[in-house]
Homo-oligomer: A and B are copies of this chain.
Amino acid sequence: MRELRLVDRRWRERYSVQRLGEFVARCRRRGIAVTPQRLAVIGALLASENHPSTDEICAAVRRRHPHVSLATVHRILEQFCAVGEARKVTLLHDVARYDGNVEPHHHVLCVRCRRVHDIEIPEVDKLLEGTPSLGQFALLRCSLEIDALCGRCQRAGKHTNVRTAPTVRGET
């Protein structure tokens, strides 16, 4: 586990150029229209090094297309995630959730019903022990999020669209 290294700017730049180059082709293939708005959004997203929020993307886009609406940016970003053109960093984003377990541990998350289960992985905890800092960052702690499908949701298939856990409120 030596050699932790931040992804550097150069790599990101090359990556962006490449992704941008094939963007139109991928859209055509998937049958989604190539609009100026979408081009501007993917451009801003790839140009940013800061994992931007909808607001930030919108601000960047508006420098060239001042008329673009925030709602549109929301729609486009969610669509991009749906077709694998982007990734939402904040998966469990809609509501704040808390954990009474303050020991170091990690999480298995059902991406469909959003239930979260604790898991211990000492190997991962040890990962940072020899690495107090990384580039400009002083490391504090880490937490592995494992995206998964829980048993219930595997059986349920893709029909039912659940955004909130099949509330088992009796349990708390």
The 18 listed contacts between A and B (C-beta, < 8 Å) are A4-B121, A7-B117, A12-B101, A50-B165, A51-B97, A52-B98, A53-B97, A56-B167, A81-B98, A84-B102, A88-B97, A89-B107, A117-B137, A127-B144, A134-B146, A140-B148, A140-B149, A142-B145
The distance in angstroms between the C-alpha atoms of A128 and B42, with both chains bound, is 30
The distance in angstroms between the C-alpha atoms of A42 and B147, with both chains bound, is 27
Q: Is the CB of A172 closer than 8 A to any CB of chain B?
A: yes
Q: Is the CB of A93 closer than 8 A to any CB of chain B?
A: yes
Residue of B nearest to A54 (CB): B96
| B165 adjacent to A42 (CB under 8 Å) | no
The distance in angstroms between the C-alpha atoms of A115 and B77, with both chains bound, is 19
Q: Given that A89-B97, A92-B89, A134-B119 are known contacts, is A144 also in contact with B144, CB under 8 Å in the complex?
A: yes
Q: Is the CB of A90 closer than 8 A to any CB of chain B?
A: yes
| A101 adjacent to B87 (CB under 8 Å) | yes
| B141 adjacent to A147 (CB under 8 Å) | yes
For the A-B complex with A90-B92, A143-B147 known, give 8 more contacts whose Cβ atoms are closer than 8 Å: A45-B100, A50-B116, A50-B168, A84-B102, A140-B147, A140-B149, A142-B146, A143-B145
The distance in angstroms between the C-alpha atoms of A101 and B46, with both chains bound, is 8
CB-defined contacts of A107 to chain B, threshold 8 Å: 51, 89
